[in-house]
Structure 1
Amino acid sequence: MKDMFSESCTAILDAVQLCTTKLAHMVQESDDKPPPLTEEEIEERTNASSSEERHELGTTGITLRYAFVSQRGYYPDEPEKPNQDAWFIEPAFQGKPDQFLMGIFDGHGKCGHDVAEFVRDNLSTTLSQLIDRYPGDFSKAYTNTFLALNQRVHVNKDIDDSNSGTTAICMIFRGSKIHVANIGDSRAIVCESKDGRNRAFSLSIDQTPYRPDERARIRKAGGLVMSYKQLTGDLPMHDDWGLNLNEEVDASGDPPRVWAEGSHSPGCAFTRSIGDASAEEIGVNAECEMVDKELTREDKMLVIASDGVWEFLTNEAVVDIIAAFDSPLDASRAVVAEAYRLWLHYDVRTDDITIAVAFIEYSERALV
């Protein structure tokens, strides 16, 4: 199982820790344009925990205080477009108090919400079945869960996943150890509080064509990687995308995408997903990347969120917002509100924005 804190990932983690909010120095305190939605309209398109909830992780002495918020995107040309983000939180997974499972799924394409909801509704049962099938090999069960769901989406006659799919970011607590599985560009982070300072650490790496290893994998499978303007000949070909990881702004607004040779499709800005049957032929697959982490008393909060949060907020910016609140629900609402504000500052629309926040508390008897 891949360990994000192993030497092989140290350079990547160092690259993302000190980033600040995208173009934060350019954000003005106010815009002349009136907001497109009233506060009442925003609330109507928001689904959130009614209050913060608590879960004690069995006999570990660790308690989670958690909440989620999801706000449907604003698309002027598609005012009735559904929220394509799906999410779930399951305390006492498999009936075991020391387990806790949560996930967020960011759908895309015409049927993206159907794919995201299918994965949400079937992940827990599928994972439980595979844990029983592979006793002692949790990594295999976790990995195969997403592969199995991907195949089930492909053969589901009620879902056209030819050009629709979903990301997946899932986190499961098993005692004091957490296991993160990632497919696509949703993200998980942990906040470490040490010497009076909060620091954000990635628990996943966005799977996009910005990553050299993902570009190489896609090309090996027969796919092409270039921006739309490169595809149309409006920009010269180059491969100098750097190590962006959605932490630094692409000033052109024209990110590298995945294309089939001789085609203007699928144009994926991600390199892994569940669904997207046509893109699977050129390397866009549902193989998750996994991270293990043993909790320490310095770990104070955990976050999973769709890319509606991360588009204009860095890991550190999100942690700074959350750290100002005592309630995970208030913190979640604040992050969503800031993400929404930044979307409208830089664009005429907003993506769906979904976040789940868990505050971690340790009793004196906690075995960490």
Structure 2
Amino acid sequence: MGNSEKLMNQIIELKITAKTLQRQSRKCEKEEKAEKLKVKKAIEKGNMDGARIYAENSIRKRNEQMNYLRLASRLDAVVSRLDTQAKMTMINKSMASIVKTLDSSLGTGNLQKMSETMDQFEKQFVNMEVQAEFMESSMAGSTSLSTPEGEVNSLMQQVADDYGLEVSVGLPQPAAHAIPAKAAEKAEEGNISRRLTELKGRGFQFGLWYLFWVLVVILDVQCFMLETQDKRTVLVEMGICISVASSEIQETTVGDENVVFVEGTLSSNGIPRLGSLHSQQGSKGSNQDAAILYQGFGMEDGSFCGIFDGHGPNGHIVSKLVRNRLPSLLLSRRNDLATANPVVNDEDYGGNEGKLDGELMSTKMFNEWNEACVSAFKVMDKELKLNEKLNGSFSGTTAVTIIKQREDLVIANLGDSRAILGRITDHGLMAVQLTTDLKPSLPREAERIRRSNGRIFALKDELHIQRVWLPNNDLPGLAMARAFGDFELKDYGIISIPEISYCHLTTSDQFIVLATDGIWDVLSNKEVASIVWSAESEEAAARAVVNGAVAAWKNKYPSSKVDDCTVVCLFLQKRKQHQQVLP
């Protein structure tokens, strides 16, 4: 990994942390309002001691809110400086070609070429200045464990006045010699400025890295809290991305927390929902599958599909953490790359038929998505490893994701889940497999694992399933060659680098299906395609596939435990007629 890529990864992680701090600020704001209502109720009951306690809590929450915002602001300033450094690196690299072009133009006397070259350079420099022109300083603060008596009394009086209540017990006034609030704030600000100056004197780099690692820990803890505090998992806010301002989150009404449908603001202009998700728990224990369908991803008619099959003691946690986190990582990384390489327009998506014949995504766009996927998957795996509340030694998840941008698909595959494409031909409906099942039995995967001293063999009672084991222990017996998590095996050939492929859609392509191995173990590609195509509606397609797989498990393996079954269906256009699947 080059220095430039490392720097961009650091910028991404800092932006993520800043968003987490802003989310905490909003949470504190809600809690402050709740405490104010408690003050009102306590005053109504004549409980002045209780009212005072609630007022102190309210003030404390307000201070916490401001401190979170200040810290997020400071972090944004750090990100701005890092962005400036990245842009300066880009400018330095372009200087060599600029000088060479100018030298050539001077030799030929081509003034027009000289002017165009300088315009190109100045445009890059202006873009860099716009990004660097950010907040250079911000106030800092710390959450006080005590609250000034005057503020408590003032808040209680304010609440009483707002609701027309009479305070039954007189509120003491602050001492006459108390330091005025503005003077105290000014003195504190001066003290903070002095401390910041001293920090800069000792070296800005030390302070930057210290802040960075502290906030990464905060982020990891908060990600875990989002997972565990609320039994119904809510998708992490997609606030970092440039192309999606916000998201309206809608969970499908399937009665579980394993599948999530997200409708971004970019998809709100009358685009119908042409997709469905469904998950059913097997008989092995808790449902460790997770899935997402994000409509309006990156652009108005863009989509993101993801399927995640967890395994191990904490597989159910890992799969949902990845589902909730990966889409925002992909978008933020893609937008950072687009910012570093400006002039992105319709031509870059193959929209200009005169130049690109409207057939393929440009090499530039595919390379950006390819790099975004690799980088986002690495960051995702790193976050899981840094999460102190999560033991991922022998727990992990697969991942199959599809990014649809207009008529182009970028597919990223990690593990043994699978994606297929339903395509109409002259002979009927054909199922096209979009991914390769990355299992230890695959020669290239087995070679990498054995080269890293990992062992591969099958158990006596299931000779058809090759598994990965530690060099000196018969653990854990992983049935896939790539995965998020499973950190005890990361030194023995298990990797989290996805296999990325590309597909250009045509008018013959009808739908995409992503499913965990609970489906593919009992149904073939063409059987799944046939079920989807014959479903009553787009909304019923995913459930129909799951029901078909459950029935097949009972018929084919009546004595075996049924695996978790999860499906995502994305229809590319309204179905016109049902056709027969190719034999």
TM-score (norm 2): 0.47
CA deviations 1:318-339 (Å, max 9, x no partner) are: 0111121241232222211111
Q: How does 1:32-181 map to 2 (within 5 A)?
A: 65-75=274-284, 81-94=285-298, 96-135=299-338, 137-181=368-412
CA distance in 1, matches of 2:405, 2:255: 36
The aligned residue for residue 200 of structure 1 is: 431
Q: Matched residues in 2 for 1:193 and 1:307: separation?
A: 25
Q: Which amino acid aligns with 1:116?
A: S
Q: 1:222 — aligned with what?
A: 453
Letter in 2 for 1:216: E
Matches within 5 A, 1:159-308: 159-229=390-460, 252=462, 254-308=464-518
* Pick aligned residue for 1:343 from 553, 559, 567: 553
Q: Give the fraction of aligned pairs with identical amino acids, expressed as a percent.
A: 32
Structure 1 pair 139–46 and aligned structure 2 pair: CA distance change class (3 A): closer
- Indicate how the Cα distance of structure 1 residues 93 and 278 shifts in structure 2: closer, same or farther if over 3 A, else same: same
More strand by share: 1
1:175: how far off? 1.1
CA distance in 1 between partners of 2:573 and 2:301 (Å): 14
**Which letter maps to 1:92?**
G
Q: Is the 8 A contact 1:143 1:288 kept in 2?
A: yes
1:360 Cα deviation from its structure 2 partner? 1.8
How far apart are residue 196 of structure 1 and its match?
A: 4.1
Question: Equivalents in 1 of 2:272, 2:479: separation in Å?
Answer: 37
SS of 1:138 mapped into structure 2: helix
Structure 1 stretches of at least 4 aligned residues deviating more than 4 Å after TM superposition: 43-50, 53-59
Which has the bigger relative contact order, CA under 8 A and spacing at least 6?
1
State yes or no: 1:357 paired with 2:569: yes
The equivalent of 1:27 in structure 2 is none
1:55 and 1:63 in contact (8 A); partners too: no
Structure-1 separation of matches of 2:435 and 2:296 = 24
Q: Secondary structure at the match of 2:291?
A: strand
Long gaps (5+) in structure 1: 1-42, 76-80, 235-251, 364-368
> 1:222 aligns to what SS in structure 2?
coil
Give CA-to-partner distance per residue, 1:44-97, whole Å, 9 cap, x none. Answer: 6697789xx9999899xx97611111111123xxxxx32111111111124x20
Cα distance in 1, alignment partners of residues 537 and 291 from structure 2: 20
Relative to 1, partners in 2 of residues 1:84 and 1:362: Cα closer, same or farther, differing over 3 Å? closer
Q: TM (normalized to structure 1)?
A: 0.73
Q: Is the contact between residue 183 and residue 289 of structure 1 (CA under 8 Å) also seen in structure 2? A: yes
Paired amino acid for 2:307: I
Distance between the aligned counterparts of 2:323 and 2:257, measured in 1? 18
Aligned to 1:293, the other structure's residue is in SS state strand
State whether residues 266 and 297 of structure 2, in contact with CA within 8 Å, keep that contact through their aligned partners in structure 1. Answer: no
Report the counterpart of residue 32 of structure 1 in structure 2. Answer: none
What letter corresponds to residue 560 of structure 2 in structure 1?
V
What is the RMSD computed on CA atoms of the aligned residues?
2.8
> Are the counterparts in 2 of residues 208 and 269 from structure 1 also a CA contact under 8 Å?
yes
Q: For residues 545 and 380 of structure 2, what CA distance do their matches in structure 1 show?
A: 30
Aligned length: 291
Aligned to 1:24: none
